[in-house]
Amino acid sequence: MKPADYLNEWVNKITPYSPGKTIEGTTKLASNENSYGPSPKVIAGLREFLPQVFRYPYKNLHVKEALAAYCRVKPENVVISNGSDEMVELLIKAFKGPVAGLYPTFLSYPIYSQIYNREYISSALEPDFSFNVQRFIKETWKANLLFLCSPNNPTGTVIELRDLEEIAQTGKILAVDEAYFEYHGITAKNLLLNYPNVIIMRTMAKAFGLAGMRIGYALADPQIAEAVRKVRGPFTVNYLAQEAALLALKDTDYMKKIVSRVLTDRKAIEIRLSEKYRVIPSNANFILFDVSPMTSKEFFEKMLEQKIVVRPQPQFQGFPGNYVRITVGTTEENYKLLDAISKM
Ligand SMILES: Cc1ncc(COP(=O)(O)O)c(C=O)c1O
């Protein structure tokens, strides 16, 4: 047998995740990062910890306590992970399939389902990207683990809390991905009080500006939280990431100030984009819009000529239009973006 013959047969079918492109000398508005970066106190504070990186990470408990205080839950409700991307993996590892999610939505749910050989069911949003709870419940009846992203990437649309509660009432494991919570300000966290099957997923990659540090977390019933910890490696959140999380959580005022700046700029960009394109109103730090009659790839290339990297979206089956997603950057970057668009 050749080495490849020993592979699990489903591995050959995996479509790897394709991240937004980072190209030297360009302005990247393609991965929903926070271009302002973390609080300056994080950067200054981390220097002090650099000489200690020979140690294995040992501050999980401190990070859990700090996140619990930030989220107003108990530390036993918190699980941390190497980005919320790892949390998606941990949940798929820990729980039975089939897995279900929206269409379109964040691609890690179908990709990790493929990696773990779980059946994945996609339930499409309505043509205007709104959420139809009855349709979702009907189409995902077979699934045991549901991922609902709100605000949803890439649409920026949200799911009403009453709809999430109706789904929680099915008793299935419901993971609500709130990666963009700080930009929307509304959380399904209170469902945890009555529904131990609900898991809230969050990240410090977006509003806290720590995408490169890889810190995700989930809020869950203590029993579920313990089960998820069991399927995680012992040191997946590294030494510096733990310190960065602790420092960032000490300066949430900075994070809030930046979020408010991003929201102001988002509004201005939406208005300007609407003059030329059909814009999907956003509840996050990015905007999805239809660039027809141009194709998404053409738009991407025209922007790249002007040294701006945006995220062309694949053709969404059943959704007419050619979509591009842009991240709201710093005010300076946003001016560059609008200037480039006005020259097109
Ligand atoms: C909805 C959603 N969930 C999770 C993630 C991943 O976050 P992290 O960087 O913490 O892995 C992203 C990143 O773009 C996202 O859009």
Reference 97, options 215, 214, 10; nearest CA is: 10
Chain segment 303-321, per-residue pLDDT in tens: 999 999 999 999 999 999 9
Mutate to test the pocket of ligand 1, among 18, 29, 84 (most ligand atoms within 8 A of CB): 84
State the closest ligand 1 atom to the C-alpha of 87, by its place in the atom list counted from 1. Answer: 11
Q: What is the mean pLDDT of residues 72-80?
A: 98
Cβ(15)–Cβ(314) under 8 Å? no
pLDDT of amino acid 23:
83
Q: What is the mean pLDDT of residues 206-229?
A: 98
Q: What is the DSSP letter of 343?
A: T
**CA-to-CA distance for 76 and 70, rounded, in angstroms?**
14
Cβ(38)–Cβ(210) under 8 Å? yes
Weakest mean pLDDT among 17-26, 71-80, 289-298: 17-26
**CA-to-CA distance for 205 and 99, rounded, in angstroms?**
24
pLDDT of amino acid 66:
98
CA-CA distances (angstroms) from residue 25 to 28, 306, 308? 9, 11, 9
| Cβ-based burial of 48 (10 A; exposed 0-12, middle 13-18, buried ≥19) | exposed
Residues 6+ apart with CB under 8 A from 332: none
Cβ(325)–Cβ(287) under 8 Å? yes
Statement: residue 24 has pLDDT above 90: no
**CA-to-CA distance for 196 and 213, rounded, in angstroms?**
30
Mutate to test the pocket of ligand 1, among 106, 111, 208 (most ligand atoms within 8 A of CB): 106
Strands 286-290 and 323-327, sheet pairing: antiparallel
What is the share, in percent, of the chain residues with pLDDT greater than 70?
100
Question: What SS3 class is residue 64?
Answer: helix
Chain segment 222-266, per-residue pLDDT in tens: 999 999 999 999 999 999 999 999 999 999 999 999 999 999 999
State the closest ligand 1 atom to the C-alpha of 85, by its place in the atom list counted from 1. Answer: 11
Q: What is the mean pLDDT of residues 43-64?
A: 97
All structural domains of the chain: 3-37+253-342 (3.90.1150.10), 40-251 (3.40.640.10)
Cβ(74)–Cβ(66) under 8 Å? no
State the closest ligand 1 atom to the C-alpha of 106, by its place in the atom list counted from 1. Answer: 1
Q: Bridge-partner residues for 78, per DSSP?
A: 219
State the closest ligand 1 atom to the C-alpha of 149, by its place in the atom list counted from 1. Answer: 1
**CA-to-CA distance for 181 and 190, rounded, in angstroms?**
14
Verify cis geometry, omega within 30 degrees of 0, for the bond prior to 98: yes
Nearest protein Cα to ligand 1, atom 2: 179
pLDDT of amino acid 17:
82
CA-CA distances (angstroms) from residue 158 to 40, 168, 214? 31, 16, 24
Q: What is the mean pLDDT of residues 58-67?
A: 98
pLDDT band, residue 15 (cuts 50/70/90) = confident
Dihedral angle computed from the Cα positions of residues 222, 228, 234 and 238, in that order, rounded to the nearest 10 degrees: -90
Identify the residues whose C-beta falls under 6 Å from ligand 1. 32, 83-85, 106, 149, 153, 177, 179, 203, 205, 211, 216
Chain segment 97-116, per-residue pLDDT in tens: 999 999 999 999 999 999 99
Cβ(225)–Cβ(76) under 8 Å? yes
Chain segment 158-198, per-residue pLDDT in tens: 999 999 999 999 999 999 999 999 999 999 999 999 999 99
pLDDT of amino acid 20:
79
Cβ(122)–Cβ(102) under 8 Å? yes
pLDDT of amino acid 62:
98
Distance (angstroms) between ligand 1 centre and the Cα of 179 equals 6
